[in-house]
A = this chain, B = another copy of it.
Amino acid sequence: MRIAIDIMGGDKAPQEIIAGGLQAAKRFASDQMIFVGRPEAIEPIGKLPDNVSFVEAKDVMAMDESVTNIMRKKESSIWIATKMVKEGQADAVVSAGSTAAQMAAATLQLGRIKGINRPAIGTVFPTVKGGRIMLDVGANADCEPEMLLQFALMGNVYAQLILGVASPRIALLSNGTEAHKGNKLTLAAYQMIEQTSLNFIGNKEGRDLLSGDIDVIVCDGFSGNIALKSIEGAFGALMKMLKAGLTKSVGRKIGAAMVMPAFKELKQMVDYEEYGGAPLLGVQGVSVVCHGSSSGKAINNAVAVAVNCLKNDFVSRLTTAVADEKQQ
């Protein structure tokens, strides 16, 4: 496999992205990593390992840059990395850069899967029982009910092939668990998803997300973004408050030192970087989106996701699943 890595994208680019790419090159010694970016970014490394090559991209799409600029930035690292997939010079892209730019580059160059109105961004997030997927988490702030149906179909394939769940439990994110709870969008989507052969477990609430009892959480990109970031903020605030409390006295500090391994374990359990990233769902190619703040570890794991998608024929399985549902 040939994985094009956008070394210019991300808050910690290029250093951490390159570090992660080099880790991945060791881990996947029989695969090829292609670093795409500015020459000066890789200069400090010196000689690249045998299975790492470099492709120059003169430009960069900044993290908060308007996505419309991409049409004028065809020398940007994300555009070129995606173009390589389109032209058969690479098999997949990995980027921690602007998600909107990555989505635009993929949609415009690789195209959408037939039957998918709008591609979605999925996020694999940690729960008490392992990683689960939520989609959409940002690409589509306003959705139509049939889009949520498509998200359910795509999330199902993802959970089967990448998370290894035989019969993924699919739920709609709503403001109550009863079937009559929801807004106009989710109420209509509920009816549609219920009629499929999916293992649909109905409406679930924000408080159920981390239970691990839902494999695929379906939502519009606005709600999904709010749910994920609320969880992230809650973790942060809680740890901050706890830390302040644990350093208040000598006795507490000693006790805190004794329980430190438990905190470290916890930190690892809730570490998004373990999951690396998730592919854009609904485009005709593998383009793995990483969190903007990804460090090397996340990039390394994101390459693993890309390899996994390729080995499992993810895109064609997705295409078949969507086509099958359309026929029913």
Are B225's CB and A182's CB within 8 A? no
B242:A266 contact, CB within 8 angstroms: yes
| Interface set, chain A 99-138, CB cutoff 8 A to B | 127-128, 138
Does A48 have its Cβ within 8 Å of any Cβ on chain B? no
Name the one of B64, B141, B229, B257 contacting A183, with C-beta atoms under 8 angstroms. B141
List the number of copies, as a whole number. Answer: 2
Which residues of A168-218 have CB atoms within 8 Å of chain B's CB atoms?
173-176, 178, 180, 182-184, 186, 205-211
* A46→B167 CA distance, assembly (Å): 57
Question: Which of A209, A242, A251 counts the most chain B CB atoms within 10 A?
Answer: A242
- Interface 9-mer from A27-35, A50-58, A233-241, A307-315: A233-241
Number of A positions contacting B (CB below 8 A): 63
Assess the B266–A259 pair: CB atoms within 8 A.
Answer: no
Q: Which residues of chain B come closer than 8 Å to A317, judged between CB atoms?
A: none
* Interfacial residues, chain A to chain B (CB-CB below 8 A): 64, 66, 127-128, 138, 141-142, 173-176, 178, 180, 182-184, 186, 205-211, 220-223, 225-238, 240-242, 245-246, 248, 251-252, 254-259, 261-263, 265-266, 269-270
Q: Which 6 A-B pairs have the closest CB atoms?
A: A255-B258, A206-B229, A245-B262, A206-B230, A207-B233, A234-B234
